[in-house]
Chains A and B, each alone.
Chain A
């Protein structure tokens, strides 16, 4: 069970994408691989969810995109964080921390 990639907790994908893009601009596949690596293969990103999320974030003005060449000289669409996106990431990270701490407290209460 623990070996099998699991689905993301509802609503966290956006936050993870923002976090990934905070490190450096990246294309879709790069984002997916990066999240999987950082999660040590706990999460597996489905292409459908990924691109819907990217479209959503872009329309919300949290990220923007541009076409650039990859290191393998392939053309790809790179996404980068906007100032608004950075703010959103900070606030969501704080909120997430608060919630996780709360849930942990509940689960560990005896």
Chain B
């Protein structure tokens, strides 16, 4: 019952301690005197009377103590005492304290840093007002592992009519545009957005206005809103920018607004233009190109809304089987939509890993605490004798371990800060801007709160077992010297052994996980070595539709560019291709294709492949081997019969047991107006992304027979490709001065940027694995050193009875290695299960990797053996005479 008066009284006695002490003294003394007076009246001497009162009523000192500790404020007082005493105890064992603080700092630092990352990815990747009410509605094709696809316009407009759980629907589509007319041409990540999108999310522009609904009409959609960064960089933060005109893809647009700093939804938007569609387009169901978001009505729950959308999708699937067969609607909360499945998985994996490291650190600290307790059993026995309750002793010891973890956390916060800086500074900006929440990674108040919670949890975890065991100390037993051989010290020994075993198992699991990921990463790098990516330069360009409407214009452009680049000094050869592997942010886009004479057996059964439009030297440049037939040639020109080369995986999947050479295929459905192409060759597969475990069927067509708008230029150079950038720019500008070149980077950077996520995970796992290894061996070392000093007497007896140095060495080594072996045997099956889970997730992870499953356990055992050997050597060098005299 903590009433206001109670609190005030308590505070008064806390802060005016002296006065309230004095009052209590006076009151109790009065009590004693009055009681004694009574006795004196009955004829006792003053001294006897005082004695008699004490006997009858209890000692004054005890009374004072009882009264003092009765109020709630006494809790703080004893805490203060505990802390002071705890600090003294920690200072007394400096080395042990230091080891504990370092171990905890590593564990807590890793956890705090990882929490900050996870918070950004999983909790608030979308920092706007209504984020919690936004639901993404995406299509998926479960049979083909398409788990997120945009939806068709007609579907979107149906939802706006039919769905009741949402008060608004908004849509957007990605549209990379060329910004020209003022200064150098620039490629800008733009999004076409429905007029209500900004309002729906709850964001306002910093300047100007958002789009009006009538601007969704074709013809009235020539407005643009600039992102803050674009406004800053290209227009030097011009405050008069509103109302000015810019040229986007050759057309004139009016700037109507500038968004606030940091707003870049949908990632990685730099500018926004209205989403407009003519009637025909808005009624299409076969072309899925809109990303749709819905805002839940206030009070509507996600699950009810999802159920409603599923039933609408069901109705649509029945009404439009041609276009909706095989597609499944997937509603998901915005945070989940923005942070991809793999990011989520890896974040959880790393959270588990840092948790493991912290557990190992806690086990180490607990072990040190056990050792320290056993040296203090006399202290506890005396305290118990003087009336300390068990709870009081447990509290004292827990205070000490919480103090330890608080000290660890202080250092840990510094480590976390440093960690985050490392994480942030090593991410290429080209990748970071695609990662939802990346900008919000920092040590915020939530991270501090999390650290505080960790401190308490760690303190309790590492302190509870030692303190419970120590407080169980039986007076008689601990008064016997050292309590050696008692049941208590046996229990302690078992517990300490178990902690070391747990540390070893956890470390092994982490190490194996790290080993698999590092090997996977190396594998990813090696797979591409065949085409020497470090001497390839890549860049993208997109021909604007206005000037290059005619295929012949596009063909002329490409011919000229290739001719000029091939003639450029320092260029060994120049080729073009639609997408190089690993570009396009991970997964390559696939398109429907058809095979002549073999219509799809079922409705909605699509054949898909990557379509690459290439120059004939692309195969040589990428070292793609010919398996059958012939490669594309210079003679496959615009007038020649259309031909194509396919990848082995396409032949395997779509021509099983048949000879594909000579067969006819075309891009698009059977009825599309694209020409039939004759398959003239089969080539080896190229690895396209680290996500896909299987090779993706690919069709290569000659660029002369279908001149592309969008293309990637590839240059093979004898040495550093970066030196070529400005001569190449000049050459292309001399063909078309208005054309922006973008994504100019060496091929090896394209690859590393696409696998930077997995590189991060692998690097972090490797570091965590190393820390775990170190902490686990410190645990073994600590236990063995302690047990050697505890058993010094026994060792002395053994030696004086004739045991040799090597016997003693072997004895200590054996007990340490037994624990290590148990730890390994427990850890291995768990590590194996983990490996299987990882191998289903990732390309190139072998669940039965010998390095990880034999090499790493051996490494761990070797280091543990070293950790046992040092104390064992000390044991073997003990002087038996001294150890016996010590008794």
* Interface residues in chain A, defined as those with a beta carbon under 8 Å from any beta carbon in chain B: 27-30, 32-33, 44-49, 51-52, 55-56, 58-61, 70, 72, 74-77
**Further 8 A-B residue pairs, CB within 8 A, beyond A44-B56, A55-B67:** A29-B30, A29-B31, A32-B31, A47-B58, A49-B66, A52-B70, A70-B34, A77-B30
A-B contact pairs, 13 of them (CB 8 A): A27-B30, A27-B34, A29-B30, A47-B31, A48-B58, A49-B66, A51-B27, A52-B66, A52-B67, A55-B70, A59-B10, A60-B1, A72-B37
Q: Is the CB of A74 within 8 A of B66?
A: no
Q: Are A51 and B3 in contact (CB under 8 A)?
A: no
Contact B3 A60 (CB under 8 A): yes
Q: Taking the nearest CB of chain B, how far is it from the CB of A48, in angstroms?
A: 4
* In the bound complex, CA of A84 to CA of B38 (Å): 33
CB pair A60–B62 under 8 Å, yes or no, is no
Could you tell me the distance between the alpha carbons of A75 and B37 in the complex, rounded to whole angstroms? 15
A71 → chain B, closest Cβ, in Å?
11
User: How long is the Cα–Cα vector from A61 to B243 in the complex, in angstroms?
Assistant: 73
B28 lies within 8 A of chain A by Cβ? yes
B571: chain A residues within 8 A (beta carbon): none
Query: Which chain B positions have C-beta within 8 A of A30?
Result: 34
| Residue of A47, A52, A56, A76 touching B57 (CB-CB under 8 A) | A47
CB distance from A26 to the nearest CB of B (A): 11
Contacts of B37 in A (CB 8 A): 72
Closest-CB distance, B58 to chain A (whole angstroms): 5
What B residues does A45 contact at CB under 8 A? 57
Verify if B684 is at the interface (C-beta below 8 Å from A): no
Asked if B34 and A74 sit within 8 Å, CB to CB, the answer is yes
Interface SS of chain B: helix
Whether, in the assembled complex, B6 has its beta carbon less than 8 Å from a beta carbon of chain A, the answer is yes
Q: Chain B's nearest CB lies how many Å from the CB of A5?
A: 9
Q: Does B863 contact A (CB under 8 A)?
A: no
Of all chain A residues, the one with the shortest Cβ separation from B13 is A55
Residue B281, interface by CB 8 Å:
no
Q: How far is the CA of A55 from the CA of B24 in the complex (A)?
A: 10
Measured CB to CB, the closest approach of chain A to B175, in angstroms, equals: 71
Give the distance in Å from the alpha carbon of A46 to the alpha carbon of B56 in the complex: 8
The smallest C-beta distance from B86 to any residue of chain A, in angstroms, reads 28
> Taking the complex as formed, is B428 at the interface, i.e. its CB lies under 8 A from any CB of chain A?
no
- Asked if B23 contacts A77 (CB within 8 A), the reply is yes
Residues of chain A contacted by B596 (CB below 8 angstroms): none
Do B5 and A59 touch across chains, with their CB atoms under 8 A apart? yes
Residues on the B chain within 8 Å of A58, using CB: 9
**Contact (Cβ within 8 A) B5 A56:** no
Picked from A33, A55, A60, A74, the residue with its CB within 8 Å of the CB of B30 is: A74
- Nearest-Cβ distance from residue B209 to partner chain A, whole angstroms: 62
Top 6 A-B residue pairs of the complex, sorted by shortest distance between their CB atoms: A48-B66, A59-B6, A29-B34, A48-B63, A52-B70, A47-B57
Question: Taking the complex as formed, is B71 at the interface, i.e. its CB lies under 8 A from any CB of chain A?
Answer: yes
Output the nearest chain A residue to B30 by Cβ-Cβ distance: A76
A51 nearest CB neighbor, chain B only: B67
Residues of B within 8 A of A76 (CB): 27, 30, 34
A51 pairs with B35, CB closer than 8 A: no
Interface size class of chain B, counting residues whose CB lies under 8 Å from the partner chain: 20 to 34
User: Which residue of chain A lies nearest to B56 when distances are taken between CB atoms in the complex?
Assistant: A44
Measured in the bound complex, the distance between the Cα atoms of B70 and A60 in whole Å is: 13
B33 interfacial contact with A, CB 8 Å:
yes
Contacts of A47 in B (CB 8 A): 28, 31, 57-58, 60, 63
Interface residue B129 (Cβ < 8 Å from any Cβ of A): no
Taken together as a complex, chains A and B put the C-alpha atoms of A49 and B62 apart, in Å, by: 11
B38-72 toward A: CB 8 Å interface, digit per residue (1/0)?
10000000000000000011101011001100110
Residues of chain A contacted by B27 (CB below 8 angstroms): 28, 51, 76-77
Q: How far is the CB of B702 from chain A (nearest CB, A)?
A: 93
Q: Can you name the residue of chain B whose Cβ is closest to the Cβ of A59? A: B6
Chain A residues within 8 Å of B58, by CB: 46-48
The listed residue with most B CB atoms (<10 A of its CB), out of A28, A33, A75, is A28
For residue A61, which residues in chain B have a CB less than 8 angstroms away from its CB?
3, 5
What residues of A have a CB within 8 angstroms of the CB of B30 in the complex?
A: 27-29, 74-77
Contact of A56 among B28, B33, B70 (CB under 8 A): B70
Partner pick for B62 among A28, A48, A72, CB 8 A cutoff: A48
Does residue B720 face the partner (Cβ distance < 8 Å to A)? no
B7-21 toward A: CB 8 Å interface, digit per residue (1/0)? 001100000000000
- Chain B residue numbers with a CB within 8 Å of A77 are 23, 26-27, 30
Q: Are B31 and A59 in contact (CB under 8 A)?
A: no
B62 closest partner in A (C-beta): A48
Question: Bound state CA distance, A30 and B62, in angstroms?
Answer: 21
**Chain B residues with CB under 8 A of A28:** 27, 30-31
A32: chain B residues at CB < 8 Å are 31, 57
CA–CA, A76 and B37, complex, Å: 15
Residues in A with CB closer than 8 Å to B3 are 59-61
Which residue of chain A has the shortest Cβ distance to B70 in the bound complex?
A52
* Closest chain A residue to B9, Cβ basis: A59
A101 to B817, CA, bound (A): 71
User: Within the complex, what minimum Cβ distance (angstroms) separates A101 from chain B?
Assistant: 28
Is the Cβ of A55 less than 8 Å from the Cβ of B63? no
Q: How far is the CA of A74 from the CA of B30 in the complex (A)?
A: 8
Q: Cα distance A71–B741 when bound, in Å?
A: 105
Q: In the complex, are the beta carbons of B6 and A51 less than 8 A apart?
A: no
User: When chains A and B are docked, how far (Å) is the Cα of A45 from the Cα of B62?
Assistant: 15
**Chain A residues positioned under 8 Å from B10 (CB to CB):** 59
User: Are B31 and A75 closer than 8 Å at their CB atoms?
Assistant: no
Docked complex Cα distance between A99 and B59 (Å) = 35
Contact in complex: B6, A60 (CB < 8 Å): yes
Closest to B67 in A: A51
In the assembled complex, the Cα of A58 lies from the Cα of B24 at a distance in Å of 14
Chain B residues near A48 (CB-CB < 8 A): 58, 62-63, 66-67
| Distance (whole angstroms) from the CB of B42 to the closest CB of chain A | 14
Smallest CB separation, A12 vs chain B (Å): 18
User: Is A51 a contact of B63 with CB atoms below 8 Å?
Assistant: yes
Q: Which residues of A contact B5 (CB under 8 A)?
A: 59-61
Q: Are B71 and A59 in contact (CB under 8 A)?
A: yes
- Is A74 a contact partner of B33 (Cβ separation < 8 A)? yes
Which B-chain residue is minimally distant from A77 (CB atoms)? B27
How many Å from the CB of A7 to the closest CB on chain B? Answer: 13
Please, how many angstroms separate the alpha-carbon atoms of A51 and B62 in the complex? 12
Distance (whole angstroms) from the CB of A97 to the closest CB of chain B: 24
Please, which residues of chain B bring their CB within 8 A of the CB of A55? 67, 70-71
Write the chain B residue with the least CB distance to A76: B30
CB distance from B678 to the nearest CB of A (A): 97
A-side contacts of B26, CB under 8 Å: 75, 77
